Amino acid sequence: MIRVRIRGIAATALSRIVLDKGYSIVQASQIIQDRLGIGFDESPADVTIKDSDRDELLVLGFYGKADKVYDELVEALEYVYRWVSPLGLYSLHIGRVVERENDICIVELPGGYRGILSKCSLEPGRLIPVSVIRPRLKPFEEFRLSREVRVVGEYVSLIYGSSRITLSEHIRDRDRRDYLLALAATKLMGSGLGIHFRSSSRFGSDEAILGEIDDLKKMLTDLVSKAKDTKEVKTLYMGEFIGLIGLTGPAKEKLDHYRSLVTPTISFHHSYKTHGGCLSDIVDYSEKLIGNGVDPGRVSETLHRYILDQIKCRPLINIIHVKPDGRKLKLTPGRIIEVRDEGEGETLVVRRILRGTGVLDGLGVEKKPGDIDYMILREGDWWISHNYYRGDEWIGSYININTPPEILPDTIKYHDLAVDIIVNRDGKTRIVDLDELEKYYGENIITEKLYNKAKEVIEEIMNNPEKYIYKTV
């Protein structure tokens, strides 16, 4: 039985998914216990799921368990970005120094990866044992390395190359903290080893914790011995699996579904809650109304209309464009100049006045300050059309393929699917960056569901591109 600890905004929905998959939930909050009718299990977790930021879930834990849970969540949520570190957190490797500048070394790691090691004075060519202290989850990130060796157990982590004693921030009881510190000082006195007490040590018995320390000491001794004898680039210890799940709008709707199986849930619950602020309180109040017998559809529609009214009144709204590599771009803000109901969801026309210079994306046309982008988006649709004008002259259109936008009181947010369609002012239409879509799909960052949807939308638009262009006259 895989034991999973869950924290964060989506805890109710995730707990329902985990239980449906046949896993055990440990150290659940009181709210989760009450909603799911489960008792409190103080067992240590094999896997932890928690918020990384408002649009991401972090999955961390032992290999063979955390990676399995991660894949199950991706399957359940379908329309997500996947970012998984190819080397585990605290994994130990024999690496080779390939570059050095001042006291920074670039170290070759197994699999052809490279990492950065600070306070390094070794010359290129030297082999060195290193552990991963910051994994590379997103394509633009880099591995950060350390000379310390850390092995991870259920209750503690033991560290060679450090004598620090640290405790999880979740161990808040002062008496328990003092007791664990005393336990560590007695057990490790003279060993030169450091220790970190994980949050599960709040509940561990002396026998379990002390036994684990003994086991980890032996493991460390063996690893240090192997590191001295190994003469090639090689992994000696896998560490912990770590992966991020990027939550698109449709994935959050999947979370809404699972949450609704447990407790009253309005439409777009997770989009609204991750936005935070007073909107989170409004969501809580709305769901209280549903719990007291008010029609869920009516409550959801009323809140949705309220948000549309709010965003229409804003002088400027933020536009967040999330790329498959994890970068979040803030586009030039715009003002909503039109909202129309076309029977398949509201269509919004956003007027953006461009300030910079350069070249308009994909069109090959010089961008000048004062150029206007009429940005067209419709609820539930997998595209956003950018229509560029210089005065009354249409310069061309750029149709971005993306997840249906999340419409919030001051923000429009969507996840990019890399590929786009260009319509030049001579009417010629072409697909650009299809290789980017293929690349992210091949790297397993874009899921098969997202990939197939992107290809379907491209075909629809290419069959009738005029339908997606906004003309002012």
Q: CA neighbours within 13 Å on the CB side: how many for 280?
A: 8
CATH number at 435 reads: 2.40.380.10
Q: How is 173-215 classified by DSSP, letter by letter?
A: -HHHHHHHHHHHHHHHTTT--EEEE-GGGGT--HHHHHHHHHH
Q: CA–CA separation, 463 vs 98, rounded Å?
A: 51
Residues 98 and 212 in one domain: yes
The answer on pLDDT for 137 being more than 70 is yes
Residues 318 and 462 in one domain: yes
Partners of 43 in beta bridges = none
Residues 284 and 234 in one domain: no
Residues 107 and 190 in one domain: yes
Residues 420 and 357 in one domain: yes
Indicate the pTM of the whole model. 0.95
In percent, the amount of the chain with pLDDT more than 90 equals: 90
Q: Quote the Cα angle for 284-335-354, to 5°.
A: 130
In a domain, 216, yes or no: yes
Q: CA–CA separation, 126 vs 21, rounded Å?
A: 47
In a domain, 46, yes or no: yes
90-99, 234-243, 365-374: the lowest-pLDDT one: 365-374
Q: How is 23-82 classified by DSSP, letter by letter?
A: -EE-S--HHHHHHHT-----PPPSEEEEEEETTEEEEEEETTTHHHHHHHHHHHH-SEEE
CB 45 within 8 A of CB 200: yes
Residues 72 and 216 in one domain: no
Residues 340 and 433 in one domain: yes
**Tens digits of per-residue pLDDT, 384-409?**
999 999 999 999 999 999 999 999 99
When the pLDDT of each residue in the chain is averaged and rounded to a whole number, the result is: 95
Q: CA–CA separation, 298 vs 286, rounded Å?
A: 10
CB 362 within 8 A of CB 428: no
Task: Specify the pairing of strand 47-53 against strand 3-6.
Answer: parallel
In a domain, 473, yes or no: no
Q: CA–CA separation, 24 vs 41, rounded Å?
A: 9
Look at residues 188, 182, 135 and name the one whose alpha carbon lies nearest to residue 160.
Answer: 188
Which three-class secondary structure state does DSSP give residue 266?
coil
In a domain, 254, yes or no: yes
The answer on pLDDT for 149 being more than 70 is yes
Instruction: Report residue 447: phi and psi, to 5°.
Output: -70, 165
Q: How far is CA 123 from CA 103, 111, 208, in A?
A: 10, 22, 44
**Close Cβ partners of 239 (under 8 Å, ≥ 6 residues apart):** 87, 88, 89, 90, 91, 92, 131, 132, 150, 152
Containing 450, the helix (H) or strand (E) segment is: helix 448-463
Q: CA–CA separation, 70 vs 49, rounded Å?
A: 9
Q: How confident is the model at residue 473 (pLDDT cuts 50, 70, 90)?
A: low
Q: CA–CA separation, 271 vs 114, rounded Å?
A: 36
Q: CA–CA separation, 225 vs 222, rounded Å?
A: 5
pLDDT recorded at residue 325: 96
Residues 305 and 222 in one domain: no
Q: How confident is the model at residue 359 (pLDDT cuts 50, 70, 90)?
A: confident
Look at residues 200, 418, 196, 236 and name the one whose alpha carbon lies nearest to residue 327.
Answer: 418
In a domain, 350, yes or no: yes
Residues 429 and 338 in one domain: yes
Residues 103 and 215 in one domain: yes
Domain range for 276: 264-312
The answer on pLDDT for 46 being more than 80 is yes
Residues 252 and 268 in one domain: no
In percent, the amount of the chain with pLDDT more than 70 equals: 99
Burial (Cβ within 10 Å: 0-12, 13-18, ≥19) of residue 211 = middle
In a domain, 27, yes or no: yes
The answer on pLDDT for 296 being more than 80 is yes
Residues 318 and 464 in one domain: yes
Q: Which two tokens stand for residue 425?
A: 């002012």
11-20 vs 249-260: helix crossing angle, rounded to 10: 70
Q: Which two tokens stand for residue 459?
A: 């075909």
CATH number at 232 reads: 3.30.230.10
Q: How many residues does the chain have?
A: 473
pLDDT recorded at residue 117: 98
pLDDT recorded at residue 357: 86
**Tens digits of per-residue pLDDT, 216-259?**
999 999 999 999 999 999 999 999 999 999 999 999 999 999 99
Q: How far is CA 446 from CA 244, 262, 271, in A?
A: 13, 29, 20
Kindly state the average pLDDT of the residues 179-191: 92
Kindly state the average pLDDT of the residues 265-282: 94
Kindly state the average pLDDT of the residues 181-206: 94
CA 154 to chain centre: 25
Q: CA–CA separation, 121 vs 270, rounded Å?
A: 49
- What is the DSSP code (8-state) at residue 404? P
Kindly state the average pLDDT of the residues 398-422: 96
Q: How confident is the model at residue 130 (pLDDT cuts 50, 70, 90)?
A: very high
Look at residues 236, 222, 219, 225 and name the one whose alpha carbon lies nearest to residue 95.
Answer: 236
% helix, strand, coil for the chain, step of 5: 35, 35, 35
Q: How confident is the model at residue 471 (pLDDT cuts 50, 70, 90)?
A: confident
Total domains present in the chain: 4
pLDDT recorded at residue 7: 96
Q: How confident is the model at residue 363 (pLDDT cuts 50, 70, 90)?
A: confident
In a domain, 156, yes or no: yes
The answer on pLDDT for 263 being more than 70 is yes
pLDDT recorded at residue 472: 79
Q: Rg of the chain over CA atoms, in angstroms? A: 26
Q: How is 315-357 classified by DSSP, letter by letter?
A: SSEEEEEE-TTS-EEEEEEEEEEEEEE-SSSEEEEEEEE----
Burial (Cβ within 10 Å: 0-12, 13-18, ≥19) of residue 464 = exposed
Kindly state the average pLDDT of the residues 167-176: 95
Q: Which two tokens stand for residue 224?
A: 């240090």
The answer on pLDDT for 344 being more than 80 is no
